[in-house]
Structure 1
Amino acid sequence: MDADLRISLIESTPNLVTPIGIATDQQDQVYILESHTHSPTSDYDGPTYDRIKIGKDVDGDAVPDEWHMYADSIEDGMNLTIDDQGTLFLATKDQVFAFTDEDGNGISDQRKLLLEMITPTPVYDHAGILGVTSTADGWIYVTRGNTGGKRWRIKGADGSFIDGFGDGGNVIRCTKEGGAVEEIATGFWNPFAIDISSSGRLLVTDNDPDSRGPNRLVEIVMGGDYGYQSLYGGSGIHPFLAWNGELPGTLPYAAPLGEAPCDIIDASYTNFPDRYRGHVLAAVWEENAIVHIPLKQRGSSIKGIPKKLIQGDSLFHPVAMATNSKGDVFLTDWVIRQYPNHGEGRLWMISGQSSHPMMVHTEAKSAGHALELPSTTDEIKEHLLSADPFLRAKARNTHNQKLILQLVESDQPQLRTQGLLMARDAAVDINKDAIFELLSSPEEEVQVATMLYLSKLGMPSDKAVLEKAFAIGSLSAKAFDAYLATIRHLNPSFIEARSKAKDRRDKALERKLPAGFIQNIVTNPAVDPSIRASALRAWPKRSDNYEILASILNASSASDLLEATIYSLRDSDDPEAAALMLSFAMNPEKDVDLRALTIVALLSKQEKYCSDMIRLLEEDLHILSVATLRYLKRCNPDGPIKEQVNNMLDKVSVDLAHIWHHPNEPKNGEPSQGDPAVGKIVFHLPQAQCRTCHKVDGWGGVLGPDLSHIGSSKGKELLTESILEPSAQIAPEWQGWFVIDQEGNYHVGRQIDVGRKNVELLDISGDFITYKEPKDYGLAEASLMPPGLHLGMTDYEFAGLLAYLAQLK
């Protein structure tokens, strides 16, 4: 903890029980929402309802001395805020209220319902209405979770409403009287906290889907889409989902956060040292920590990397924060790591050395930065052509049909892409000829945006247009997953089911491909080989169809299709697969790099072909020799084969003895620059474990980050550090978790989902494994990536691996 800060415990059980939301008023009174209805157990002996307590500082030391009840009879309370006029706004999981104290006796005597979530009922505690904040210009801003994928409707006191089905959580606003309800942004999982920074930015914390992290801090702009839709399930993995702006029309997060961020506050309102000015503080419940995030300008938005400010023990579970006029930070603490009410609670105060805040915290004048939109056609086009996704998002708020169609017909690809996104959101009809032309565009973003349009507004008849564009080879291989998703959307049964869905969960809607659809693509020689390769990767039954794989391996000359076939054969259980792969590897007419990959793939098979591999050394082809020597190391290198290999190594043109003898003998004369082709071989070696956890171009595991474009973000120095010291820096989205099961066995994984009694952990296979009533679970101290993987490589191989990763861009 920073030596210039101090943290003090100022209240605890029994005076304070399971506290969540907190706020302060102009008199520095502290309002705390006590939770008693959060899935209480049958034997819970606390109060029947949630309640709001007021703490008053009598002796002037900033610590509340007296507590009394402000409001009672509250159910499913989530969060609260107070405006400068003293009105307290309370968010419950399905309602928002305004509380006032008209007679000034410190007890609320007026309670007005402003917003109500009419459907669904019931809703899970963390999937309904979550956060609330207010602005001096008469608005309150509220966050809503994904409602568990059910159809939803929120109604204001004036009768205005918004509703949806299949979308993500959202940010909405209404007047302080509950009128003029409107959506501000969408695309969230469960956005728990909302606040406005000292610079007028509307900020939200969002929890992550089951299989896609991290939790995140995002800046909100009008019309922003942050990537998640419950229509595509809870995993977060789908061609039409994004989490960090990966998809056209979606926005990136400002900062990654650890698991279960519950609240944020601008450190500029604290009495912390001036170096924290402009930082955001976040309470991270699951990780027992408070972090601070130095935010820097990124175009019109912001970005930052969190740093640990306070690390508590296992009984520190911070929830909400508020500051007083002196800049002290009050922090509620749930204490015990269990969701049901349990009767414990604490209140902390964090203070700096100063008795004055850097900035006086008053109610924000407005969320103006989020709402500033371009007004003229020229300004809209200028924003749409910007490299800044936040400016583009603001410009897409127009529903001018004439302008939208002009953009779709533009000769500038970026304007066409933006026009398609606007047409989708405004339900503007685009004729089939134009759709075909857009699908035939050479720009991948235009293709994907067109399919996003068709997936939302298309009819079954559009399937023929899409297949026609595919047939002429217009779609890129990278757009293939979006193509399959769109075909599923245009299935008449899906369109009908979506239109009639009421109470059912959106993820229950079936999205089927026509029978044999992918197989027909894989086996059609008229289809572009790169797309056939993508289809092979997307085909669940690929490894069960040996005859088809054998036909491709024997007939094709396209390297990407052959590579996909080799990977599929590697995973095949067919008894003839290994012999077929050996035949390919031994064929001198085949591409040498693919032969080398095949040899490495054979390492995953039980069969041993040691004598055959000896003969491959005679060809004296560098990359083939590297793979062959790696294979031969499984063939008892201290047995009869040792002399044969040593004799062959004396005859080859490049000294590769270090691969054969490693780690017993030192290397000699390796080049200083790594060979990417060698690195690719190393990446796919089973003992290197790279492909076990990482994907490249769609092939590999899911436990670690996708490395398909790692060279764009990391140079060789950072890549080296991440391999040699994997635990030195662990990004929040790749934080590991451990579970100790009932038998005492230790398990690790990446994502965790904790229920009342059971725990689900995403393991190395990419599946969630359920552990019933485990003995323990928590954050893994070390990276999931094992240390010392480089020790199984020669320096030459390690340099090659770095070169291979660096060129993945």
Structure 2
Amino acid sequence: MNCHLRQTKWFSSFLLAAAFIVAMPDEVRSQDSLVPPVVVELGWEIELVLAEPDIATPVMCVFDSQGALLVIESHTHFPPENYAGPDHDRILRLSDSNQDGTLDRREVFFDQGKFTMGLAVLDDGWIAVSHRDDIIKIRDTDGDGKADETVTLATLDTQANYPHNGLSGLAANSDGWVYFGQGENFGEDYTLVAADGSKQVGGGEGGNVFRVRTDGSQLERVATGFWNPFGMCFDSENRLWSAGNDPDAMPPCRLMHVVPGGDFGFEFQFGRGGTHPLQSWLGELPGTLPPAAGTGEAPCAVVPIGDRLWVASWGDNRIEAYRLTPDGATLTSQTETILQGDTLFRPVGIAVAPDKSVYITDWVRRDYSVHQTGRIWRLKPTAGQPVTAAQPPLSDDEKSAVAADAQNKIDELLELASTTDRYLAQAAVTKLSLLEELPAAVSLNEFSSQASLAVLMAWRWRELCNPSSVSEAQRQALITWGLSSNDQACTLFSLRWAAERKETALLSKIENVLSLPKLSPQLFEVTVATISYVKNGTARSGVRDPARETLLYTLAKNSARAADLRALAVQGIPAAADHPTNQELSEWLAPNVGDTLQREIIRLLIDRCVSADAEHQAVRTSAVQTLQSIAADMQFPISVRADAVSGLASVARDHQKFLSKLNDDRAIPNEIREEAQRVLSSIAGIPNQKRPPVEDLDSWLQLVGKGGDAEAGARVFQRSTCIKCHLHEGRGAMTGPDLTSLAGQTRERILKSILYPSSEIGPLYVPWKIVTVDGDVKIGLKMPTPGVGGSIAFQASDGTPFYVKLEDIEFHSFSRQSIMPNGLEQTMSIGELRDLLAFLAPDTSE
């Protein structure tokens, strides 16, 4: 199915003003032969300001109150053996000595520091500086161009020492606070202490944003749930923004509107992959907030320029822009490209000069290690491009969110917290957490489910900011109430809270959630994840977690459990799991267990037919035999037998005799015979049927817009290329959007996505065209790969991954063609297409 069907607002059209080429040279060019990044957006021109040896591995930059450019020059970020540079970082000061518009004077403003990350301008000549383990402020008191006064504002005490996942991003405005980010810190425990002794403690909860007064007092936690909020800024309306990186297996990186008390969903203790059911990346879990937009890989600086926010994408070698669109009490956006470079363009910092030109620091190489190479570029507006920050004014909903901070009446705050606008509700929740008389667990039955969730959120935030302010008894009473709530959101929230606190004392109550009637797949998965984590402390990283699989197997084999629960358990078991064996699956397939469980068992057997490798041929053989047995057994429902027939599609050539026998036997029900015929057609070819031209949407709608068999459509999805890229009800791949939620879409929209897959492509699914030095051309989606290895991973249109070494790439660029292939409608019969549409978007008008 078409990758653009994801319904998150910011996954809409990706704006790319011009094509560009990304060269992959083996060595850094000489300064005379430097090729600047391509200016994609009209109205700008680019020039080189500085290059090595005059600048090395620059990071963040900012213009001070005198119009000089301060630039962090990193020398401590993984220095190689026998590194020739200094053993500490430096902050350079570049200024114009003769008012000719060029920064011709270079001075070392601050000649010390380790793992220096960020800069922000404060009042009275002070400059805030973030290192991995502290926030300081420095200034030049005697006018000699060198900082001679240093004051420590906050210090981080932790065992972790990785350079850029501690303290990092900095932002300041006129309210007397310094805001700073903290990365995931490898989940290690930490104590953050301000100069006045105020402190915040934690560990495992992921990245955070804190703030401290410019005199080093009143340290406070602002928000949580980040991977690494490396870039931060205030826009023209004093909104706080952060550009943060993504976990190992959960793109995209995010542009986030940071609000007090906000939880953006990532927790390191549940695994660095980002795919754990107790983690939220796009606001999937109750109590978490969605981002404003997805960004390019490894975003660094975020800066307000004109009516947009500019973001430096280190990993995708470009400068992006985000025009903000009001959406309730927050804003959303889409990606635009300003500047695109080759792989020797690694932008980090962005700063606006007094003359309204834009300066960009460039790390140059893909290496994390410092390498004494660096650039500074200057973008000059040439066609009246607006540079002064002018983001949208606060909406009425945003003003209501701001006003919530002055509200002290619990009833009014609970009413506000019950709104469907999550950012507006969050403002009320944060204020609730500060009230002395926050409702206790015994009062929650008096409130609506939305108000009860708000109270749970407020207590959890209070505990995160001040652990001693919430007793164990209070926390357990609140979680217990949520676990027994009739509201799924409250239960999901309480499960996550219980896992965070490793509430072994509540394990039996957590397990009781599995006995609730009509468990949703999400509630089941989160409950299983919580039990596994509380019992074993393990978190699934990717697909496999032995503790989780053991629990799923235990639930699936328990015949005393409800069939629907057992079905959910089978659904979660990977095909490669040792248990259950195919023999066990066959034994579980009693005709009286219900078709939901039967179908999940069949789907697992089908997965084993498809995924078994050469070393597991016996697994595949027994799975095929079991499917054949079900297909021929009249004790099973017809639809279940048809599912088993469909499952033979991947091995159809080897079992044509069996399939032909089913097709030819007129005593066999038509549904099963038709399925056998469809599977045989995958070998012989689709029947020659008259079809409208692909451009004639109206005729296609008349042909397949109504009718069809949803159960047969599920089988089409299972055996076609759809499942290689898409999930549906827990089965399939995650390359494209999960199609489970398409029931609310019209058939016309889904049909359009099949007929015209490239008409609209969301940023997450924009494929790349790669041309190798040998002249090969490949198309694929870039896959998430941690670190800075020697190759780039992609996924082809058939769902298979492939890797291209960096030195083998001549150039690569975005492709306007969807990864979903054209002509998908030609790979199935008219009846199959009609059935597929009935499955994805049931026709409720009939």
TM-score, normalising length from structure 1? 0.84
* Aligned match for 1:211, one of 208, 231, 249: 249
Q: Residue 75 of structure 2 corresponds to which residue in structure 1?
A: 36
* Aligned match for 1:332, one of 353, 358, 361: 361
* Aligned match for 2:764, one of 718, 721, 733: 733
2:166 matched to 1:117?
Answer: no
Q: Residue 177 of structure 2 corresponds to which residue in structure 1?
A: 139
Report the more deviating stretch, 228-237 or 401-410: 401-410
Report 1:46-61 matches (<5 A).
46-60=85-99
Report percent identity of matched pairs. Answer: 28
Distance in 2 between the 1:777 and 1:430 partners?
61
SS of corresponding position for 1:415: helix
2:307 matched to 1:307?
Answer: no
Q: Residue 680 of structure 1 corresponds to which residue in structure 2?
A: 714
Distance in 1 between the 2:803 and 2:82 partners?
26
> Is residue 73–residue 91 contact of structure 2 (8 Å, CA) maintained in 1?
yes
Alpha-carbon distance change, 458 to 561 in structure 1, aligned in 2, over 3 angstroms: same
Distance in 1 between the 2:224 and 2:187 partners?
14
Distance in 2 between the 1:673 and 1:228 partners?
42
**1:559 is aligned with what amino acid?**
D
Distance in 1 between the 2:517 and 2:338 partners?
54
Q: Residue 703 of structure 1 corresponds to which residue in structure 2?
A: 735
Report 1:660-675 matches (<5 A).
660-661=687-688, 670-673=703-706, 675=708
Q: Deviations over 1:430-474 (max 9, x none)?
A: 598986664444432132123223324464342223334534647
Q: Residue 383 of structure 1 corresponds to which residue in structure 2?
A: 416
Distance in 2 between the 1:767 and 1:115 partners?
48
* Aligned match for 1:220, one of 221, 233, 258: 258
Q: Residue 393 of structure 1 corresponds to which residue in structure 2?
A: 426
Distance in 1 between the 2:630 and 2:354 partners?
75
Alpha-carbon distance change, 439 to 50 in structure 1, aligned in 2, over 3 angstroms: closer
* Aligned match for 1:569, one of 595, 602, 605: 605
> Is residue 300–residue 312 contact of structure 2 (8 Å, CA) maintained in 1?
yes
Q: Residue 836 of structure 2 corresponds to which residue in structure 1?
A: 801
Alpha-carbon distance change, 775 to 518 in structure 1, aligned in 2, over 3 angstroms: same
Distance in 1 between the 2:83 and 2:139 partners?
30
> Is residue 120–residue 170 contact of structure 2 (8 Å, CA) maintained in 1?
yes
Report 1:41-120 matches (<5 A).
41-60=80-99, 62-120=101-159
Distance in 2 between the 1:98 and 1:474 partners?
57
> Is residue 404–residue 428 contact of structure 2 (8 Å, CA) maintained in 1?
no
Q: Deviations over 1:605-657 (max 9, x none)?
A: 45442332323666573x545532221125557xxxxxxxxxxxxxxxxxxxx
Report the more deviating stretch, 580-589 or 532-541: 580-589
Instruction: Report the alpha carbon displacement of residue 545 of structure 1 after superposing the two structures with TM.
Output: 2.0
Q: Residue 439 of structure 2 corresponds to which residue in structure 1?
A: 403
* Aligned match for 1:578, one of 608, 624, 633: 624
Q: Residue 559 of structure 1 corresponds to which residue in structure 2?
A: 595
**2:590 is aligned with what amino acid?**
N
SS of corresponding position for 1:6: strand
Distance in 1 between the 2:385 and 2:605 partners?
68
> Is residue 347–residue 363 contact of structure 2 (8 Å, CA) maintained in 1?
yes
Report 1:417-456 matches (<5 A).
417-425=453-461, 426=463, 427=470, 429=473, 438-456=482-500
**1:470 is aligned with what amino acid?**
L
Distance in 2 between the 1:395 and 1:253 partners?
19
Q: Deviations over 1:343-382 (max 9, x none)?
A: 22222222324789664799x9xx9977962432123212
Distance in 2 between the 1:469 and 1:517 partners?
14
TM-score, normalising length from structure 2? 0.80
SS of corresponding position for 2:320: strand
Q: Deviations over 1:166-224 (max 9, x none)?
A: 11000011111222222111101111101001111100011111111110000111111
Aligned length: 760
* Aligned match for 2:642, one of 591, 596, 607: 596
Q: Residue 322 of structure 1 corresponds to which residue in structure 2?
A: 351
* Aligned match for 2:573, one of 522, 533, 539: 539
Distance in 2 between the 1:229 and 1:768 partners?
28
Q: Residue 310 of structure 2 corresponds to which residue in structure 1?
A: 281
Q: Residue 229 of structure 1 corresponds to which residue in structure 2?
A: 267
SS of corresponding position for 2:145: coil
Q: Residue 271 of structure 1 corresponds to which residue in structure 2?
A: none
**1:52 is aligned with what amino acid?**
I
Q: Deviations over 1:27-67 (max 9, x none)?
A: 32211112222212224433333212222234545432322
> Is residue 218–residue 253 contact of structure 1 (8 Å, CA) maintained in 2?
yes
* Aligned match for 1:488, one of 532, 535, 542: 532
Distance in 1 between the 2:791 and 2:835 partners?
40
> Is residue 317–residue 335 contact of structure 1 (8 Å, CA) maintained in 2?
yes
> Is residue 168–residue 189 contact of structure 1 (8 Å, CA) maintained in 2?
yes
| Structure 2 unaligned residues grouped into runs of 5+ | 1-39, 464-469, 609-618, 694-698
2:217 matched to 1:179?
Answer: yes
Instruction: Report the alpha carbon displacement of residue 799 of structure 1 after superposing the two structures with TM.
Output: 4.5
Distance in 1 between the 2:548 and 2:113 partners?
51
Alpha-carbon distance change, 385 to 672 in structure 1, aligned in 2, over 3 angstroms: closer
2:49 matched to 1:6?
Answer: no
Instruction: Report the alpha carbon displacement of residue 392 of structure 1 after superposing the two structures with TM.
Output: 2.3
Report 1:641-652 matches (<5 A).
none
Q: Residue 16 of structure 2 corresponds to which residue in structure 1?
A: none
Provide the aligned C-alpha RMSD in A: 3.9
**1:660 is aligned with what amino acid?**
P
Report the more deviating stretch, 225-234 or 756-765: 756-765
SS of corresponding position for 2:413: helix
> Is residue 323–residue 361 contact of structure 1 (8 Å, CA) maintained in 2?
no
Instruction: Report the alpha carbon displacement of residue 588 of structure 1 after superposing the two structures with TM.
Output: 5.5
Q: Residue 413 of structure 1 corresponds to which residue in structure 2?
A: 449
Alpha-carbon distance change, 489 to 334 in structure 1, aligned in 2, over 3 angstroms: closer
Q: Residue 629 of structure 1 corresponds to which residue in structure 2?
A: 677
Instruction: Report the alpha carbon displacement of residue 475 of structure 1 after superposing the two structures with TM.
Output: 4.3
Alpha-carbon distance change, 122 to 533 in structure 1, aligned in 2, over 3 angstroms: same
2:655 matched to 1:612?
Answer: no
SS of corresponding position for 2:605: helix
> Is residue 439–residue 474 contact of structure 1 (8 Å, CA) maintained in 2?
no
**2:723 is aligned with what amino acid?**
R
> Is residue 709–residue 808 contact of structure 1 (8 Å, CA) maintained in 2?
no
Q: Residue 19 of structure 2 corresponds to which residue in structure 1?
A: none
**1:791 is aligned with what amino acid?**
Q
> Is residue 521–residue 568 contact of structure 2 (8 Å, CA) maintained in 1?
yes
Instruction: Report the alpha carbon displacement of residue 108 of structure 1 after superposing the two structures with TM.
Output: 1.1
Alpha-carbon distance change, 73 to 111 in structure 1, aligned in 2, over 3 angstroms: same
> Is residue 784–residue 793 contact of structure 2 (8 Å, CA) maintained in 1?
yes
> Is residue 477–residue 531 contact of structure 1 (8 Å, CA) maintained in 2?
no
Distance in 2 between the 1:74 and 1:696 partners?
51
2:327 matched to 1:295?
Answer: no
Distance in 2 between the 1:670 and 1:589 partners?
36
> Is residue 173–residue 238 contact of structure 2 (8 Å, CA) maintained in 1?
no
| Structure 1 unaligned residues grouped into runs of 5+ | 269-276, 499-504, 638-658
Report the more deviating stretch, 312-321 or 447-456: 447-456
